[in-house]
Amino acid sequence: MRGYYLRYVQVLLRFFPLAIAFLRDRRRFLLFGPSRQVSTAVHRDRAQQLTETMLDLGPAFIKVGQVLSTRPDIVPPTYVEEFATLQDEVPEEAGGDPMTVVEAELEDVIDLETLEPVAGGSLAFVYTAEYEGERIALKVRRPGIVPMIERDLRVIRGFVPLLLLLADERQRYSIENLAGDFEDIILEELDFARESSIMAEIDDNFADDDRIVVPDTYPDLCSERVVAMEYVEGKKITDERALANAGTGPTEMATLIARTYLKMGLVDGVFHADPHPGNLSVTGDGRLVIYDYGMSQRLTANEQADITALYRALVRRDVDSLLNTLIALEVLDPAVDRVQVRRVLELVIESLEGRSEITWRQIITELFARLHEFPFRIPPNVMLLMRVGTVGEGVCRTLDPDFDFLEVTRSFLVDHGFIESELETLLSDVRGDLRESLPVIARAPARFDTVFGQLERGDLVVRTDPVEPTSGGDPAVGYAIVAGALFVTASVLTLHEGSLAIAAGLLGFLFLGQYVRKRRHR
């Protein structure tokens, strides 16, 4: 318990100067005074200080920063961009020596003298070793990391009430929900047995695609603290020389990355959620290698369908579908004022369409910035998929600065039948409108006959106030209007099989004849 309080004070002291700065933005003298305007440059400096502080405080706070990089509903865009640079590089000694885990779990099956360190992350360390004549990779959880994480999670929970006091009313709902979601994400990442299981599942999903490499696992060597896998060598995905030597262009590789992650999320329902450059490499023959599956997730069938609908609505700029999908995903409460939200979403679409270049990050940032006035939350699975989109797009645009993530997404959705081509979409909309209109059109002739019978008998009188005095009117003009409407109906119905178009045309000629007859009798 003493360790908890010491850690709480340590964390409080590290964040205290920044907390004072943020409070002074609201009230210059903390308890009174006007608010003050702060430049983007100042916010960028603060974001960098926060990032460095999180790195210094260790694994749990690094994960906090990574999660916050996907939460534009809580932090402003400048902070989102800076937190997105957080990766898992921490000192090797943090959390204890992973060699003790290797010795405890694999000493009898691995020749420890062949062990070579490769890389260190916030939760684990990676080695290579000889096993049955082959070189394999071992991802080993740091031995003291679980107690550290659990303690820091308690500290973070202890700070939530303070954050709620500092946050404005619109952010409080998101912060309250984030605390529980964050714990679920980081505790799942500590379970290496789960990671090896997801790895094997994703490997199976790409078994027929020789462009993607997911290292094979060795189930007999895997445990809650160790993931044993095939050792696959590759060069960093952003190494231009490596891509050139592999005969792969930057745009081609960026497209492969985007379509790979879209397939994981929208088709397979199980996805790798950490596509930063350190986890992606290219082999000598141009294949994409994906490492480190700790931050991964499975989707239910309903979640998969709803997230697919979200991508489809964003790509097609369909406001009504976007609203329905946000409610289905539990981002928005079902009781939300749909009229008000719809207006906000229309503003988002209008704002984006006015820009010469649109990115996935811009869409997400704009969307959630506009939704701030409504209580909303981002469920963990949606949060991770947002991270995939923003981080993955960042990698793709590093490879190709002109890479159009949205166009690749549109192409993917068309290829997999999630949306129709532009022509098919137009025809589908026309068919839908006609289906809704046909019952009305079918009943129209009888209604027209009734109405005009009433007009002829004088049972129905239509009074209008003319804008300008007129010398008289044309009592036959109604027949001309109905005739014109029926001719338009007949032309529309020619797109469909059946005799309705002929019937509408004949009725049009009938009313046209009545119009001519009335004109002659004048």
- Residue type at 334? P
Asked if 270 contacts 304 with a C-beta cutoff of 8 angstroms, the reply is no
Asked if 505 contacts 487 with a C-beta cutoff of 8 angstroms, the reply is yes
Asked if 116 contacts 84 with a C-beta cutoff of 8 angstroms, the reply is no
Angle made by CA atoms 451, 514, 507, in degrees to the nearest 5? 70
The rounded distance, in Å, linking the Cα atoms of 309 and 325 is: 6
The rounded distance, in Å, linking the Cα atoms of 205 and 263 is: 9
Q: Which residues contact 450 (CB under 8 A, 6 or more apart)?
A: none
Distance, first Cα to last Cα, the chain: 102
pTM of the model: 0.71
The rounded distance, in Å, linking the Cα atoms of 201 and 194 is: 11
Main-chain dihedrals φ then ψ at residue 262, nearest 5 degrees:
-65, -40
b/e 338-354 (16+ beta carbons within 10 angstroms → b): eeebeebbeebbeebee
Count CB neighbours of 387 within 10 A.
21
Main-chain dihedrals φ then ψ at residue 446, nearest 5 degrees:
-65, -40
Helix (H, G, I), strand (E, B), or coil: what is residue 212? Answer: strand
Domain regions of the chain by residue span: 1-92+146-188, 233-419, 475-521
Angle made by CA atoms 191, 192, 196, in degrees to the nearest 5? 130
- Residue type at 430? V
Q: pLDDT (tens digit, 0 to 9) for every residue of the chain, 522 residues total?
A: 667 889 999 999 999 888 888 878 777 766 677 888 888 888 899 999 999 998 888 888 888 887 787 776 677 778 888 887 776 555 555 556 788 899 999 988 998 889 998 887 767 889 999 998 899 999 999 888 888 888 998 898 888 888 877 776 666 766 766 767 778 888 888 899 999 999 999 999 999 999 999 999 999 999 999 999 999 999 999 998 999 999 999 999 999 999 999 999 999 999 998 888 888 999 999 999 999 998 898 988 888 888 888 888 888 888 888 899 989 988 888 888 889 999 988 888 887 776 667 777 778 777 877 777 777 777 777 777 777 888 888 899 999 998 988 889 889 998 988 886 444 444 555 555 556 566 666 666 666 667 666 666 666 565 655 555 555 556 666 777 777 777 777 766 665 555 666 777 777 777 777 777 766 665
